[in-house]
Amino acid sequence: MTIIRTTCTRRQAMGLMAVTAAAPLAAGITENASAQETTPRKAAFKQSASRWCYDKIPLDEFCLQARAIGLKGIDLLSEPDWKTVIDHGLEVSMANGPGGIPDGWNDPKNHETLIKASEELIPKIAAHGIRNMIVFSGNRKGMDDRTGMKNCAEGLKQILPLAEKHNIIIVMELLNSKRNHKDYMCDHTAWGAALCDMVGSDRLKLLYDIYHMQIMEGDIIDTIREFHPYIAHYHTGGVPGRNDIDETQELNYRRIMEAIAETGFTGFVAHEFVPSKPNPLDSLRKAYEICDV
């Protein structure tokens, strides 16, 4: 079975990363990990990082450094990488699902392929103790949003009984259609929440990507407060540019994380930004500290 991991946009974004020297990353990895894992954390919720943002670092090394920083999981992984991450004592915080961003569940022509792939994938995900599988609405391609929503609901309803049986959350990602994913349908939180209501199952939730939703609708904290019952997972990213979530961008991520914690959220906040520091792990470490509320 072929699972499409990421979009062109994500792969292209990786090319924006500064080329990192292998030696500084490899030197002292084990020693640093052992020393830093004892650092106490507040941990109102769990943090993870999207693998594609750190693909230059071998996965074993990245897992060691992620644990040293304090992360509890790695995000957006396909089946070949699951065991490696789990063997390092980390969770696969989001498994890649079938299909890709442009061709998703809003087109009935895709349903047969997506349903068959989901039926094969969901039991494997559950067998590895993974709880979240990502899905995408697909692009509009001239389709109106209400029709697309009905089509998504019709297709997703056919895999939700299996997801319920295996205790898996099917997570629809919110993406911006203004800059990165032109024509993507699930580009507003209200649309995603309405889809969840139409499906009527607690096995379908949303991935609220803060970067994408700041571009599309802003009003981040109040939107989180209003729609948090629909949200199973969060992604971070600096605006503009999808780089570090520090003082170089327009969002106050510390306050956003406090607002997420105030909702009682205990799932994963995954960092999905393109690091701008010479050593990308310095960017990730800083992001962890900002979000440790």
Residue 62 included in any domain: yes
Distance between CA 216 and CA 10 in Å, rounded? 18
C-alpha 234: how far from its chain's center? Answer: 6
Residue 27 included in any domain: no
pLDDT tens across the length of the chain (293 residues) = 333 333 334 434 333 333 333 333 444 443 444 434 434 557 689 999 999 999 999 999 999 999 999 999 999 999 999 999 999 999 999 999 999 999 999 999 999 999 999 999 999 999 999 999 999 999 999 999 999 999 999 999 999 999 999 999 999 999 999 999 999 999 999 999 999 999 999 999 999 999 999 999 999 999 999 999 999 999 999 999 999 999 999 999 999 999 999 999 999 999 999 999 999 999 999 999 999 99
Q: Are 250 and 224 contacting, i.e. CB atoms less than 8 angstroms apart?
A: no
Amino acid 95: pLDDT: 98
As for how many domains the chain has, the answer is 1
Helix axes 111-127, 145-156, angle to 10 degrees: 50
Amino acid 34: pLDDT: 41
Residue 24 identity (one-letter amino acid):
P
Residue 9 included in any domain: no
Residue 204 included in any domain: yes
Residue 165 included in any domain: yes
Render the burial of 55-65: b for 16+ CB within 10 Å, e for the rest: eebebebbbbb
**121 Cβ contact partners less than 8 Å away, ≥ 6 residues apart:** 1, 3, 79, 95, 97, 98, 133
Amino acid 29: pLDDT: 40
Residue 162 included in any domain: yes
Amino acid 83: pLDDT: 98
Rg (CA), the chain: 18
Domain residue limits at 61: 45-280
Residue 54 included in any domain: yes
Residue 20 included in any domain: no
Distance between CA 106 and CA 249 in Å, rounded? 34
- Which bin fits 99, alpha (ψ -120 to 50), beta or left (φ > 0)? left
Task: Specify the CATH number for the domain of residue 232.
Answer: 3.20.20.150
- Which bin fits 243, alpha (ψ -120 to 50), beta or left (φ > 0)? beta
Amino acid 74: pLDDT: 98
Amino acid 146: pLDDT: 98
Distance between CA 133 and CA 96 in Å, rounded? 6
The four Cα atoms 191, 193, 198, 204 give a dihedral, to 10 degrees, of 120
